[in-house]
Amino acid sequence: MNKNFYSPTMLTKYINCKHIISNEYHEESLKLKRKKRTITDELRIEKGLDHEVSYFEELKKKYSKVKNIKSLKSLSKKEKIKETIKSLNEGYELIYGGWLESGNWSGEFDFLEINKEQKSKLGNYSYEITDTKNSSKIKGDHIYQLGIYLDLLKDAQGTLPIKFYILLKDKVKKTVKVNEVYDTFMVHKKSYEKFLSKEIKTSPEKCSFCNFCDFSLHCSKEWEDKRDVNLVLGNTRKNCQTFKKNGTKFLFANDRRNGRLWVKIKSYGTVDLIDGLKFFSKVRKKNISINC
């Protein structure tokens, strides 16, 4: 398996949904199929890259000593890491597309900009991180991803920067203070490392990330095969966990005429009707029993 599970991208996937990591890990052995990228997906990725390149062109006008590691396409990741460390030690003002590693972790930076107001083991200077995001606002995923970059940079220069920056799609450069987010990031990082240290085996649960997940079709099929409560319209991960913890039994009915999925919940001798979208309260007579 050539996948690197100790990367900023994998950490953010884990925070959104642990089952994504399980699918990533077992993708080859279970022959899982990913969703095909849509035209919208391709345009979004293209816009993100254009945003990054556009900012690089601006920074090249600001700095005279610039290292473009992203252009060194013939180098392996290990070679790019060595080149990045060399550039840090040589005091380049701007490093574009640099790579660093620390322990199992590694990652590619958008921009490392020199900071002559903070000393480090490199000398009378250190570096700060700027990351471009094709987004109108800062999101939690951005913070956790940048947290890994902070750790990687800390290992390389011997100290954490005081702040880092996120350049949003409107070219507004937002400042984030490291001491306000670092402890929370470390909680998630330690949780993920503990997760990876054990057998990676989870069950799919509905979450807010389902619409963006490459493996959502596989999860949906698994729910259909098991007649799982995650199929219920409007249901949430928290609801499903509560139902299962309480030993609640479910009876499903599909109203094909109206394209709606209904569920009866039988608990403590009573039967209640749940419709996640508050549709009409009627259920077809033929129900299918499931375990939950």
- Using CB atoms within 10 Å of the CB of residue 30, give its burial: 0 to 12 exposed, 13 to 18 middle, 19+ buried: exposed
148-159 pLDDT tens trace = 999 999 999 999
Token pair for 83: 């080149």
33-63 pLDDT tens trace = 888 888 888 888 899 999 999 999 999 999 9
120-137 pLDDT tens trace = 999 999 999 999 999 999
Res. 275 pLDDT band, cuts 50 70 90: very low
User: DSSP states of 74-130 as a string?
Assistant: TS-HHHHHHHHHHHHHTT-SEEES-EEEETTEEEE-SEEEEETTS-BTTBS-EEEEE
User: Within 10 Å of residue 106's Cβ, how many Cβ atoms?
Assistant: 19
Res. 267 pLDDT band, cuts 50 70 90: very low
Res. 234 pLDDT band, cuts 50 70 90: low
Quote the mean pLDDT of the chain: 84
Token pair for 217: 């079709």
CB 188 within 8 A of CB 144: yes
Is residue 268 pLDDT above 80, yes or no? no
Read off φ and ψ for residue 170, nearest 5 degrees: -90, 15
Mean pLDDT of 176-200: 95
Is residue 22 pLDDT above 60, yes or no? yes
